[in-house]
A and B are shown apart, each in its own frame.
Chain A
Amino acid sequence: MNLFGVLEMGGAGMSAERLRAEVVTSNLANVETTRTPEGGPYRRRMVRFRAEVPHASPFQLAFERSTGGRSVRVDAIVTDQAAPERRYQPGHPDADGQGYVAYPAIQPVAEMADLLGAVRAYEANAASVQAAKQMIQQAIEILR
């Protein structure tokens, strides 16, 4: 791993967690959304993370295998296939023949907990970036 490998891994973690927070926020914003461009109610989205070898020169890669350090990236944003929640609201413009409206199957409390998790994970990654920076600075201090 090069001098900045830890910094880059921490940065990748921060990027991934930021995207997760974005997806969760989108779920929270659309708790009551009954119309989407694809038709039907909004469907809950989730991120899927994937560990990957940080892209580097072949020389660095050869060294990388021995340390086993893995970066992270968002592999895909998957849509929850759970059936929408049906509520009886006859006056609603999106109500079907029997007066039921399909609402997204989203639990706001669960989404809030997920959001908190993303924020805390972002914090932890920021702390690892800080730690890596301090280590490099300590090494430079030796020269002084």
Chain B
Amino acid sequence: MNTPISGLRILPAEIETGLGREAGAGPGFADTLHSALQEVDRLQGEANRETGGVLAGGTTDVHGAMIAVEKADLAFQLMLEVRNKIVQAYQEVSRLQF
């Protein structure tokens, strides 16, 4: 049902050459994005574990599994919208004419 999105990890080399941080600055944008992705991935793992527990008969709280799935879904939606916004901004910039 949920494929882990940890496979989408940004390569360290890309972080250093591309969206990397300035010397002395706080965490770069890529780091923030990376940690957000990890959080989404963690919530999806939790949802997987909870639903697995209910289906295997280990836990009795069906609503707990449902809430975990909803949390993962909401976090994913938020991550997706942020990503769409970034890509949109990038496309705007790439269309700039001089």
Contacts and interface: CB of A to CB of B under 8 A. Distances in A.
Nearest to B63: A14
A69 interface: no
Interface residues of A, number: 17
B67 interface: yes
A8 B63 CA distance: 11
Contact of A137 (B60, B67, B74): B74
A59 to B, nearest CB: 15
A21 to B, nearest CB: 12
Contacts of A129: 63, 67, 70
Interface stretch (B3-11, B15-23, B76-84): B76-84
A137 B70 CA distance: 11
Contacts, number: 38
A72 B78 CA distance: 28
Nearest to B60: A18
Contact of B70 (A7, A140, A143): A7
Interface residues on B, range: 10 to 19
Contacts of A88: none
Contacts of B85: 143
B67 A144 contact: no
B71 interface: yes
Contacts of B82: 143
Contacts of B60: 18
Interface of B: 60-61, 63-64, 67, 70-71, 74, 77-78, 81-82, 84-85
